[in-house]
């Protein structure tokens, strides 16, 4: 994968999470501080050029929604941020993804460390199939070597952060797969929050959920945006309107337009954006 040689030498490692340095503070003490900047990002599947020269920022404290028709490259683009894109056989990318001032795509950056700072929630809820509710949330903490004594407190804090604690506190040891779809997705959000990431990527997190469960996740996003920098991919324009401060519109792998959500849905600059948000295509 082509990387940036100049950047690589000056960029040692991703910045340590502010919450990692001190004693475990829990989700309540998290604050969104990190910027994510995509610079000239390109992504490919073999010869298919899926993301083309994208430049985009995710600001802390503001939710950025990425909208666009199916296959426009929006999921691929966010998967480049935590470098999950490169897990797919034949996939590659070039350009820069900066977390504050560190290029996450630099050759000397450790991919496992990147994913501990940039969490992800997937389209379909994917709790670990053999694990209990609390073990699901604890799994990331076990990866990072969190002391055994702290785990149960941090599991509780993460489940509270994901708005699930009151629903599951009496059955923490029952299987995660036994929850409803919406609860499973909030369990996955809790699992991502437990390691206290700086950034949370959400790849169509509500596409498999009913309207009530969707509403709960959207409320949760509103609460979490102060704690962690959030980018959400959605095919649902109403959802972008409800949760996002900034909206980016993609078409055929290109970033067409980005701006404040109100403006994007009322007076966009580009005709294609207007046609998409008014339902003329997609």
Partner 1 sequence: MTTESAAASLGPALSGRRRGILDRFGDRGLYLITLAAAIGSVVILGGLTYKVIDEASSAISSYGLGFLTTSNWDPVHEQFGAAQLLYGTAVSSFGALLLATPLSIAIALFLTELAPRGTRTPIATLVELLAGIPSVILGLWGILVLGPAMQSTIEPALHSALGWIPVIGSLFGGEYGIVGLFPAIVILTIMTVPIVSSLTREIFTTVPPTAKEGALALGGTRWEMIKTVVLPYSRPGIVAAVMLGLGRAVGEAIAVSQVIGGAPGIHANLFLPAQSAAGQIAAQYLGATGPATAALAYLAVILLLLSVVFNAMARILVRAVQQRASQT
Name which of residues 206 to 225 contact partner 1 (CB under 8 A): none
* Residue span 116-135 as binding mask against partner 1, x where in contact by CB under 8 A, dash where not: x--xx-x-x-xxxxxx----
Q: Quote the least distance from Cβ 221 to partner 1, whole Å.
A: 18
Q: Quote the least distance from Cβ 118 to partner 1, whole Å.
A: 9
| Cα 153–Cα 33–Cα 216 angle in degrees, nearest 5 | 60
Write the burial class of residue 5 (CB in 10 Å: 0-12 exposed, 13-18 middle, 19+ buried). exposed
Smallest CA-to-CA distance from 200 within 226, 231, 158, 223 is with: 231
Q: Quote the least distance from Cβ 125 to partner 1, whole Å.
A: 9
Q: Among residues 10 and 144, whose Cβ is nearest to partner 1?
A: 144
140 sits near partner 1 (criterion: CB under 8 A): yes
Q: Quote the least distance from Cβ 281 to partner 1, whole Å.
A: 30
188 sits near partner 1 (criterion: CB under 8 A): yes
145 sits near partner 1 (criterion: CB under 8 A): no
Q: Among residues 76 and 246, whose Cβ is nearest to partner 1?
A: 76
Name which of residues 100 to 119 contact partner 1 (CB under 8 A): 112-113, 115-116, 119
Answer for which of 8, 20, 25, 177 binds partner 1 (CB under 8 A) is 177
80 sits near partner 1 (criterion: CB under 8 A): no
195 sits near partner 1 (criterion: CB under 8 A): yes
| Residues shown for the chain | 282
Q: Could you write out the DSSP letters of every residue in 202-260?
A: EESTTTTS-HHHHHHHHHHHHHHTTTSEEEEE-S-HHHHHHH-SEEEEEETTEEEEEEE
Q: Quote the least distance from Cβ 263 to partner 1, whole Å.
A: 32
Write the burial class of residue 87 (CB in 10 Å: 0-12 exposed, 13-18 middle, 19+ buried). exposed
184 sits near partner 1 (criterion: CB under 8 A): no
Answer for which of 6, 143, 262, 271 binds partner 1 (CB under 8 A) is 143
Tell me the C-alpha distance between 181 and 163, whole Å: 14
Name which of residues 44 to 73 contact partner 1 (CB under 8 A): none
Tell me the C-alpha distance between 192 and 154, whole Å: 12
Q: Among residues 141 and 255, whose Cβ is nearest to partner 1?
A: 141
Tell me the C-alpha distance between 18 and 39, whole Å: 24
Smallest CA-to-CA distance from 117 within 97, 133, 87 is with: 97
Longest dimension (CA), the chain: 57
Alpha helices in the chain (DSSP H): 5-10, 18-21, 74-81, 111-117, 133-143, 148-161, 165-168, 181-194, 211-224, 237-243, 261-266, 271-277
192 sits near partner 1 (criterion: CB under 8 A): yes
Name which of residues 243 to 262 contact partner 1 (CB under 8 A): none
| Residue ranges in contact with partner 1 by CB under 8 A | 82, 84, 87, 89, 112-113, 115-116, 119-120, 122, 124, 126-131, 139-140, 143-144, 177, 188, 191-192, 195
């Amino acid at each position: 994968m082509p990387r940036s040689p100049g950047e690589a030498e000056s960029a040692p490692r991703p910045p340590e999470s502010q919450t990692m340095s001190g004693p475990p503070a829990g989700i309540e003490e998290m604050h969104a501080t990190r910027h994510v900047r995509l610079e000239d990002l390109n992504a490919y599947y073999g010869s298919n050029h899926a993301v083309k020269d994208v430049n985009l920022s995710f600001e802390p404290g503001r939710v950025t929604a990425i909208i666009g028709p199916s296959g426009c490259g929006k999921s691929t683009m966010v998967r480049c941020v935590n470098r999950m894109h490169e897990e797919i056989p034949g996939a590659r990318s070039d350009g820069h993804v900066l977390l504050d001032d560190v290029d996450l795509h630099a050759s000397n950056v450790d991919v496992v460390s990147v994913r501990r700072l940039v969490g992800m929630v997937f389209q379909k809820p994917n709790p670990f199939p053999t694990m209990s509710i609390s073990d699901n949330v604890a799994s990331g903490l076990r990866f990072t070597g969190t002391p055994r004594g702290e785990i149960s407190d941090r599991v509780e804090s993460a489940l509270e952060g994901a708005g699930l604690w009151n629903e599951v506190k009496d059955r923490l040891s029952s299987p995660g797969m036994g929850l409803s779809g919406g609860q499973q997705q909030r369990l996955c959000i809790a699992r991502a929050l437990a390691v206290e990431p700086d950034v949370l990527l959400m790849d169509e997190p509500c596409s498999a959920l009913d309207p009530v469960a969707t509403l709960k996740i959207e409320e949760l996003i509103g609460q979490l945006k102060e704690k962690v920098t959030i980018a959400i991919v959605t095919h649902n324009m109403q959802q972008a309107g409800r949760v996002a401060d900034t909206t980016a519109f993609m078409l055929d792998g290109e970033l067409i337009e980005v701006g404040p959500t109100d403006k994007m849905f009322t007076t966009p600059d580009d005709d294609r954006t207007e046609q998409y948000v008014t339902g003329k295509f997609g």
